[in-house]
Structure 1
Amino acid sequence: MHDVVITGMGVVSSLAMGAEEFGRAILAGKSGLRPLTRICTEDLPCKIGGEIPDDWIGNEQYGPNVARQMDRASRYAVHASREALLTAGLPIENLGRRIGIVIGAGLSGLDTLQTQTERLLTKGAGMVSPFTIPTLMPNAAPANVSLAFGVTGPCYTVSSACASSGHALIDAVELIRRGACDIVITGGTESSLTRLGMAAFAKMRALSSNSNDNPAQAVRPFDLNREGLVMSEGAGIVVLESAEHAQSRNASVQARVLGYGMTTDASNIVRPDATGVEPARAMQEALASAGLSVNDVASQMYVNAHGTGTSLNDATETRALKLAFGEHASRLQVSSTKSMTGHLIGAACGLETVACLIALQQQMLPPTINYETPDPECDLDYIPNVARAASVEFALNNSFGFGGHNVSLLLGRA
């Protein structure tokens, strides 16, 4: 079985473009949330999100004809993948058959679905774009990455709501471990800041609605006064590689992939099981698969929490951390970078994997911003408001999704 390392990373986010700038932003405690400009928000209770300005990603790298056939989610995936390949020291053309692509997307193509449905209803069937299906199909993002860089190995999408890119990363790990690929481009992408997406999440009472005038303070994970998540768009992509292959080309290793765990609540399609039993088991499986115990890692671990800023999620995750780590939970250093980035849904774990890489490399832990009033149900160390210098050897990345999906990914310092 081949060991797996991370050799490249790429970021498209409303907080910052590029992994390096993203790292600076999260360590500075900045927010990427802003008033939405592409849609009418007049009748929406939440009028803010992690929207990426159109001029941050131009179409010149694709050409106007190609860009017309790509949803925003696909463009974000291609852009972040290009950066990840370049930082890995790999070529960006004719990559061939020993490289794979596994990209997570929770609401893939929602942007195109909204646009083309509106066109159908207002202009008639004859005005629907002939590119609608290949643009909104769930596998559009990895397919476009394949086309952009000449990848002929395994290429597919994983969709499990907010755990999508976590499951994608795990699939990518296994492709390398069993020798099917030397390298896999993986992570997640999402573009769901549409009227339909915003209205649907609002009807579920999942969104923050009291901070439209102050977007930077909207997401308050683990705080007593938290009142919901804020949706965002973007992509977080990493390059996974077998350790032998990376060594053979003298690649710079960003981190090691040590283990993972996957469970399902089987409790409710939307609400997490408040006991936290299954998320805790995912964390325990991640440690066990790496041959580590809680005592081995607790004092040297950074936890990037799922931390959405909803009342039930944050209390449940705290409970799960306590179940998984027992008496050692108080030694954990935990933060939610969603307080700064918002929730990228299917791309969340991909982007937060990059946050973990930054923490391990720089030995600086990103904070949970907007943490002001402790909640008795959330009583761990959440790295409040200011980044922290710390000696950490491990990072645990938690992602939980609608459907009861729980993913924990364990990384080790290079």
Structure 2
Amino acid sequence: MNHTERRVVITGMGALTPIGTTVSSFWDALLNGTSGAAPIESFDTEGMRVTFAAELKDFDPADYLGAKQVRRMDPFCQYALIAADQAVEDAGIDPDEMSQEEKDRVGVIYGSGIGGMQTFYEQANYFQENDEKRTSPFFIPMLIPDIASGQIAMRFGFRGPNHAIVSACATGNHNIGDAVRRIQSGEMDACVAGGTDACVTRLGITGFASMRALSTRNDDPAVASRPFDANRDGFVMGEGAGALYLESLESAKARGANIYGEIIGMGASADAHHLTAPDPEGGGVRLALNRVLDHAGLNPEDIDYVNAHGTSTPLGDVAETKALKQVFGEAAHKLNVSSTKSMTGHLLGAAGAVEAIATILATKHDIVPPTINFDTPDPDCDLNYTFNEPQERSVDVALSNAFGFGGHNTSVAFKKFEG
């Protein structure tokens, strides 16, 4: 078989989210319409414009990692390692039983949109108040966005391609898409792919709030993330990580692995429009959608569900809706669309990976998770957004969209597995 024809399947998944710190708890929370947004507990918000976020709950990294590892890793890296652990274990992989040759064929392509923001904030303050000679020697290794991919590789001894694609909130999708193409090409047989971010910090919240990007519903955080609702006023900051264990179908079959689904396409583009605002006509998104359909060999009518980027911003939700209607035409109104960010908040660099998991499970279980917090229709958002309740339907093929500041647009196509 030509390597470019190799099929890529998902055999393991890991999720660390504000509504569940395992894949099963995350999925249950999605179907129950659970909101992860609440007043911030990890630091004092007095005097801040925005005082809530979607934080990880009932979570202590020391329950998963050694005390030394916790001290020497920024939270974004801690989250990545824990999600990767879940995915590798879920895939039925025991690195201790793998030969070095096998490990050399497993890559780690795993990114972060921002990297060690908490470490940067703490060390910058420390530097201002103390002698520079006392700056931590772990400052830079804890800060750089690629360190998560390096740490994951070291944990398991995987020596295949290893890097991090950084594209803001499109990071997770870009890393997954790159992993798929490298497996298809035969460069590697398997890969841990995904994304992570931990920006619920005083600096992170303040920075995004100063851009007027965040919702200011401090009085009722649970309903603040309301994609496609006429009264949306910005996104809710979240934190977490998602990881997929991807491998060629030949590899998965050879070891009798459980297969969740198949990845059949990736599309990417640029808006080339503005630093942070989307192309209001959805032109760049349209290109990404057309490209994912072309890569997957699909027609618009083949798609059953789209996990939308849907951040709950006034401009973004309309632009994405326009792009969907431009690409899908009459079929757009037959789609189910939903934004799981209505529950998780916006996980930035982790969003694509976590939402990929939601999309994979939608195809596996034939059920579409809802977009919660809908009250008021927006005439510019007139598709079936699966408001407030999950919907059972056949989901054979689904797309997951992720877009990032800088005009980065991505869409990944998932298919129900058929041997």
Where on the TM-score scale, by shorter chain, does this alignment land: which range?
A: over 0.9
| 1:390 lines up with 2:393 in the alignment | yes
Segment of structure 1 superposing worse, 124-133 or 70-79? 124-133
Measured against aligned partners, the alpha-carbon deviations of 1:141-178 in whole angstroms (never above 9, x if no partner) come to 11111121111111111100110111101110011011
RMSD: 1.3
Measured against aligned partners, the alpha-carbon deviations of 1:170-222 in whole angstroms (never above 9, x if no partner) come to 1100110111111100010001111211111111100000x223211010100
**How do 1:7-46 residues align onto structure 2 when only pairs under 5 Å count?**
7-46=11-50
Asked if structure 2 preserves the Cα contact closer than 8 Å seen for 1:400 and 1:407, the reply is yes
Counting matched residue pairs gives 409
In structure 2, distance between residues paired with 1:252 and 1:51: 31
Match of 1:50 in 2: 54
Q: How far did residue 284 of structure 1 move?
A: 1.4
Q: What amino acid sits opposite 1:269 in the alignment?
A: L
- Select 1:340's aligned residue among 340, 343, 362: 343
Asked if structure 1 preserves the Cα contact closer than 8 Å seen for 2:111 and 2:146, the reply is no
Q: What amino acid sits opposite 2:372 in the alignment?
A: I
Asked if structure 2 preserves the Cα contact closer than 8 Å seen for 1:82 and 1:92, the reply is no
| 1:212 lines up with 2:218 in the alignment | yes
| 1:230 lines up with 2:233 in the alignment | no
Asked if structure 2 preserves the Cα contact closer than 8 Å seen for 1:104 and 1:166, the reply is no
- Select 1:243's aligned residue among 228, 243, 249: 249
In structure 1, distance between residues paired with 2:210 and 2:348: 17
- Select 1:261's aligned residue among 250, 253, 267: 267
Q: How far did residue 121 of structure 1 move?
A: 2.1
Asked if structure 2 preserves the Cα contact closer than 8 Å seen for 1:94 and 1:151, the reply is no
In structure 2, distance between residues paired with 1:94 and 1:46: 49
| 1:270 lines up with 2:273 in the alignment | no
**How do 1:58-137 residues align onto structure 2 when only pairs under 5 Å count?**
58-93=61-96, 96-137=103-144
Q: How far did residue 275 of structure 1 move?
A: 0.9
- Select 2:201's aligned residue among 194, 198, 222: 194
Q: What amino acid sits opposite 1:207 in the alignment?
A: L
In structure 1, distance between residues paired with 2:53 and 2:340: 15
Q: How far did residue 68 of structure 1 move?
A: 1.3
Match of 2:176 in 1: 169
Asked if structure 1 preserves the Cα contact closer than 8 Å seen for 2:264 and 2:415, the reply is yes
Cα pair distance change 1:61/1:128, threshold 3 Å = same
Segment of structure 1 superposing worse, 309-318 or 98-107? 98-107
Q: What amino acid sits opposite 2:370 in the alignment?
A: P
Asked if structure 2 preserves the Cα contact closer than 8 Å seen for 1:260 and 1:409, the reply is yes
Q: What amino acid sits opposite 1:284 in the alignment?
A: N
Measured against aligned partners, the alpha-carbon deviations of 1:49-93 in whole angstroms (never above 9, x if no partner) come to 11124x513325432222211111111111011111111111144
Structure 1: tracts of 5 or more residues without a match: none
Cα pair distance change 1:345/1:93, threshold 3 Å = farther
Asked if structure 2 preserves the Cα contact closer than 8 Å seen for 1:100 and 1:151, the reply is yes
In structure 2, distance between residues paired with 1:125 and 1:41: 29
Segment of structure 1 superposing worse, 90-99 or 129-138? 90-99
In structure 2, distance between residues paired with 1:195 and 1:218: 19
Measured against aligned partners, the alpha-carbon deviations of 1:204-243 in whole angstroms (never above 9, x if no partner) come to 100000x223211010100000000011110011111001
Q: What amino acid sits opposite 2:292 in the alignment?
A: A
- Select 2:332's aligned residue among 318, 321, 329: 329
Q: SS of 1:397's equivalent?
A: strand
- Select 2:162's aligned residue among 155, 159, 167: 155
Match of 1:185 in 2: 192
Measured against aligned partners, the alpha-carbon deviations of 1:5-26 in whole angstroms (never above 9, x if no partner) come to 1111000111111001100000
In structure 2, distance between residues paired with 1:104 and 1:342: 19
Q: SS of 1:386's equivalent?
A: coil
Instruction: Provide the identity percentage.
Output: 42
Asked if structure 2 preserves the Cα contact closer than 8 Å seen for 1:219 and 1:226, the reply is yes
Q: How far did residue 321 of structure 1 move?
A: 0.3
In structure 2, distance between residues paired with 1:375 and 1:61: 44
Q: SS of 1:409's equivalent?
A: strand
**How do 1:353-392 residues align onto structure 2 when only pairs under 5 Å count?**
353-392=356-395
Q: SS of 1:186's equivalent?
A: strand
Q: What amino acid sits opposite 1:102 in the alignment?
A: I
Asked if structure 1 preserves the Cα contact closer than 8 Å seen for 2:91 and 2:258, the reply is yes
Segment of structure 1 superposing worse, 102-111 or 55-64? 55-64
Structure 2: tracts of 5 or more residues without a match: none
